[in-house]
């Protein structure tokens, strides 16, 4: 990695948690300069504008979360183990104290930033796809009943978890997250053969 690439990555990694917490509009160039200890020229020598920093920060946060979730799935040897491992990440992930980047960036970009909206859309579909694949593979392996609709299940589970993350952030506790995750587990277990 060249020095310019390392600097660019450093700016992304330093900016990402700030933008996730304060929002794209709420994060100023001064915030990024303070976090990186770089002058304006050092930042804009690596990025065209703040929108590009926001986009790259989202992609970085999404990648970090995706890697963690994919590892949890890979560590499971059955549909149940894969799903429960995945749900355990959500139950124990303290990094969502500032909210999920999909939720945070999505709420801000839905009407104002078509580039970010498209990135968030891809992230939502990917997250839903992870749940869909677990359900579908469980049906194929005869671990789960074919009456489970993987598409409906994946959409519902994703939406419930995102809602619970929002509640965790606003209410400052895990009560809703525990109820949501228990509900998902109970429903999933109802399809066991």
Say if 24 falls within a structural domain: no
Please give the Cα distance from 29 to 40 (Å, whole number): 8
Say if 112 falls within a structural domain: yes
Tens of pLDDT, residue by residue over 73-100, are: 999 999 999 999 999 999 987 555 567 8
Say if 145 falls within a structural domain: yes
Domain count for the chain = 1
Closest CA to 180 of 114, 96, 108: 96
Mean pLDDT of the chain: 94
Provide the pLDDT confidence category of residue 68 given band limits of 50, 70 and 90. very high
Say if 1 falls within a structural domain: no
* pTM for this prediction: 0.92
Please give the Cα distance from 117 to 107 (Å, whole number): 9
Range of the domain at 65: 51-189
* Side-chain half-sphere CA neighbours of 40 within 13 A: 4
CB neighbours (10 Å) of residue 69?
18
Say if 9 falls within a structural domain: no
What pLDDT does residue 99 have? 76
Say if 15 falls within a structural domain: no
Closest CA to 182 of 96, 87, 108, 105: 87
For residue 70, what are the β-bridge partners?
none
Say if 67 falls within a structural domain: yes
The CATH number of the domain where 92 resides is what?
A: 1.10.357.10
What pLDDT does residue 93 have? 77
Alpha helices in the chain (DSSP H): 3-22, 29-36, 40-44, 50-74, 79-92, 101-109, 114-140, 150-171, 175-189
Say if 169 falls within a structural domain: yes
């Amino acid at each position: 990695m060249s020095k310019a690439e390392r600097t660019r990555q450093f700016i992304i990694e330093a900016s990402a948690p700030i933008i996730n917490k304060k929002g794209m509009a709420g994060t100023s160039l001064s915030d990024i300069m303070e976090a990186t200890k770089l002058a304006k020229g050092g930042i804009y020598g690596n990025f065209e504008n703040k929108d590009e920093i926001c986009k790259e920060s989202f992609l970085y946060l999404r990648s970090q979360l995706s890697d963690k979730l994919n590892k949890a799935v890979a560590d499971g040897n059955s549909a149940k183990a894969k799903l429960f491992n995945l749900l355990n990440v959500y139950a124990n992930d303290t990094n969502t104290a500032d909210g999920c980047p999909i939720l945070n960036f999505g709420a801000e970009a839905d009407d104002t930033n078509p580039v970010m909206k498209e990135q968030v859309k891809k992230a939502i579909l990917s997250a839903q796809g992870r749940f869909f694949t677990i359900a579908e593979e469980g049906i194929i392996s005869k671990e789960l009943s074919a009456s489970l609709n993987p598409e409906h299940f994946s959409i519902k589970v994703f939406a419930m978890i995102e809602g619970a993350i929002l509640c965790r952030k606003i209410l400052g506790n895990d009560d809703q997250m525990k109820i949501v995750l228990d509900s998902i587990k109970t429903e999933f277990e109802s399809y066991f053969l």
